Amino acid sequence: MEDLTQEEWSEQLANDNNAVVLDVRTDDEVADGIIPNAIHIDIYKGQDFINELEKLDKSKNYYVYCRSGNRSGQACRIMDELGFENAFNLEGGIIEWHGDIVDVD
């Protein structure tokens, strides 16, 4: 797990062809918008969250965010424990994000 600043996260993500963006916020938070192409798995789902993570490709590079960076940090630590090779936490979360945000379909 690695904490990245907003700038580091954006730059690294833009140059990573093995990247997956993961949003770990609640459904209500996601309704306010999501970073383009992100997949959503709510960290508050407990065991269901872990079950969903287990379905993901552990060789991908995961760029993880939440509202402020706390829950995504927890998610990255869980992912490390589950054997994910690369999980990057967005410091400051989506509230400090200056990139694109799209509505959820």
Catalytic residues: 66
- What's the rounded Cα separation, in Å, for the pair 103 and 9? 21
- What's the rounded Cα separation, in Å, for the pair 97 and 40? 17
- What's the rounded Cα separation, in Å, for the pair 95 and 16? 23
Q: Which amino acid type is present at position 74? A: Q
Residue 47, SS3? helix
Residue 40, SS3? strand
